[in-house]
Amino acid sequence: MCGIIAYNGQDDAVPYLLEGIRNLEYRGYDSFGCALDSKVGIIIKKDIGKVDDVINKYKVQNLSSNKAIFHTRWATHGGVKTENAHPMIDCTHRIAVAHNGIIENWAELKESLGGHKFISDTDTEVLSHLIEEKLNKGADIQTAVKDTFKQIKGSSSFIVLDKQSEDLVAVKKGSPLVLGIAKNGNFLSSDVPSFVRHTNKVVYLSDGDMVVLGKKSYSITNLINKDVKHEVSTVNFSAKHAEKGDYEHFMIKEIMEQLGLMKNLESTDFKDVIQAAALVKNAKLVYLIGAGTSYHAAMLGAKALRENGINAVAVQGQDLITYRKVISADDVFIIISQSGETADIINVLPLMSKNKKIGIINSDGSTLAKEVDVFIPIGAGPEKAVASTKSFTLSGVYSTLIAMFAAGRNEDAIHDLKLMNMNMYNLLVPSVLSAIDKAAEKIKGLENVFFLGRDSDYIMALEGALKLKEVSYIHAEAIDAATFKHGPLALISDKVYAVAIVSESNRNDTLYNLQEVKARGGNIIGISDKNENVFDMFIRTQEGGSFGFVMQSIILQLLAYKTSILKGINPDRPKNLAKSVTVK
């Protein structure tokens, strides 16, 4: 939920960290803060607001240090105010702490620190005073951090700057943290793109890892499991993949990247998909687990598995607890996550401990990627807009491929991939883009919008409604077109708009439902491969066989994006939201 980047080395940390924190702002943009080691002590600059606004206000670019921590916050504990911005200092100003996560037992820990002065409402400040307490009793910084880590409960990763030590000390648990190994120093960060311009050598840290980061070296000790290995990996994407390039926003860049990413699938060997298919083929039941947009991808996968003769159900991460008494050893889990750090799923991993697990995940080295038996890296590259686009479509494609391969329909799958890509370049022609613009112009002034569809079209209605809510702040509700007459039809009037997704397989039944809406004065924006009399506005999509949802998704993403732009909203940074939800 928050973004942290730190550097310790022979170079000036500030230019590296300024660049890095700007690349992490998508993880949280309520406030910005930094702590720098200096000859006169620790320099702290922090305030609420956008990263660049705070940087310019305090002229952070004019500071210099070889050892520093930068942090951007998305508020989870304590309101959005300057005192709650990170880093947090102790009473003596000896240490500064930046933190990502939730300390569940913060209240009782704070109560035990009666002699300390707290200046914030956050759980994070407990860390600085706990470490201070141990330092005052003679512990060195590493021991103080280790003992503090053992006291706290919950998912928390944090970095500590101690003015009396040449090292930075950090611990990873739950929330993401990765080590970057550069020529003249080392990085710790929430995400690789923040430092990939300076090194592609990384160590993906595991829960319980304590890192001591020196100027020329580093050491890692796992405080939970001594058998954890820490291999140096090479990142396979460059800094340009994490930049907007000529695009105005990351969201539109990532929408358009889908065309190339889908084309790349045609030359993929799918060895991981074949392994996954072998597992699900013999499963008693396949659970597809996801949260938010990944749950919609899970729904697509579950539907595809059932259609191919394999019993499957899509479950939101937090709801798996209700299945705890019926999970059997013969069940298989497919975990879908963009970040690989989704707390709702990590929290229920113990329920899957005896089962085979497949991961459809966009982040190598993430917590969830390390927990699965078959890891399918979806290869979307960095996704920095809060609203997931390319990760969603690729997750849906891979889950559908698993279903088709498990049923022995490999040739059908490849055929449909080629069909999708052949038609993809007919999707975004000027007439379609103009139709999207006109629909967005109509939607932008509405307070409520319905999204309707049947079967897989209903799943895409859910996804379309979510996207519109996320980036335009318009209340959007997805309803199965078949159930619309069971109550919601009472809301229809000539002021109501519905976005209807219509595929060939559901055309006749869906059109009948839409006639009921039309007869009561409702307005219909149709997304289909054919224009219909019932449509007031029409956006043409293309046939894609088993992957037709990709075409629909791109249209829906563009509709949400265009609406956001017309309303003057930055779609990359919608209010109240952050990219990776790493807290409960």
Cβ count within 10 A of residue 434: 11
256 and 234 in a common domain: no
392 and 261 in a common domain: yes
* Options 46, 467, 562, 579, the catalytic residue: 579
With helix as H, strand as E and coil as C, how does 122-163 read? CCCHHHHHHHHHHHHCCCCHHHHHHHHHHHCCCCEEEEEEEC
Helix axes 456-472, 548-566, angle to 10 degrees: 20
User: Is residue 309 in some structural domain?
Assistant: yes
Distance CA 474, CA 468 (A): 6
Distance CA 126, CA 520 (A): 59
Number of domains comprising the chain: 3
**Local confidence pLDDT in tens for the 584 residues of the chain:** 688 999 999 999 999 999 998 888 777 678 899 999 998 899 999 999 888 899 999 999 999 999 999 999 877 777 888 888 889 999 999 999 999 888 899 889 988 988 899 888 888 899 999 999 999 999 999 999 999 999 999 888 999 999 999 999 999 987 889 999 998 999 999 888 889 889 989 999 988 999 999 998 999 999 998 888 888 988 876 656 667 778 899 999 999 999 999 999 998 999 999 999 999 999 999 999 999 999 999 999 999 999 999 999 999 999 999 999 999 999 999 999 988 888 889 889 999 999 999 999 998 878 898 899 999 999 888 888 888 999 999 999 999 999 999 999 999 999 999 999 999 888 999 999 999 999 999 999 999 999 999 999 999 999 999 999 999 999 999 999 888 778 777 677 778 889 999 999 889 899 988 888 887 878 899 999 999 999 999 999 998 999 999 999 999 999 999 999 999 999 988 876 655 554 55
Here the tokens at position 536 are: 């007031």
453 and 413 in a common domain: no
The reported pLDDT for the residue numbered 483 is: 86
258 and 231 in a common domain: no
Here the tokens at position 345 are: 């799923």
Residue type, position 60, single letter: V
276 and 237 in a common domain: no
The reported pLDDT for the residue numbered 231 is: 87
- Domain ends where: 242, 270, 296? 242
User: Which of 79, 212, 44 lies closest to 144, judged by CA?
Assistant: 212
12 and 91 in a common domain: yes
Here the tokens at position 78 are: 């304590």
Distance CA 329, CA 184 (A): 50
Domain holding 297, by residue range, is 244-425
CATH code, domain with 491: 3.40.50.10490
User: Is residue 546 in some structural domain?
Assistant: no
579 noted as active-site residue: yes
181 and 156 in a common domain: yes
The reported pLDDT for the residue numbered 304 is: 97
349 and 394 in a common domain: yes
271 and 225 in a common domain: no
The reported pLDDT for the residue numbered 163 is: 94
For tokens 């990765």, what's the residue?
Answer: 178
Is pTM beyond 0.85 here? no
- Domain ends where: 405, 425, 445? 425
2 noted as active-site residue: yes
User: Is residue 553 in some structural domain?
Assistant: no
Here the tokens at position 498 are: 């519905």
Spatial contact of 88 and 97, defined as CB atoms under 8 Å apart: yes
**Terminal CA-CA length for the chain:** 11
The pairing of strands 497-502 and 448-453 is: parallel
User: Is residue 251 in some structural domain?
Assistant: yes
- Domain ends where: 425, 458, 491? 425
The reported pLDDT for the residue numbered 580 is: 53
The reported pLDDT for the residue numbered 403 is: 98
237 and 290 in a common domain: no
| CA 334 vs CA 271, 282, 310, 378, 394: distances in Å | 16, 14, 13, 13, 14
230 and 306 in a common domain: no
* Options 2, 34, 45, 384, the catalytic residue: 2
172 and 34 in a common domain: yes
CATH code, domain with 23: 3.60.20.10
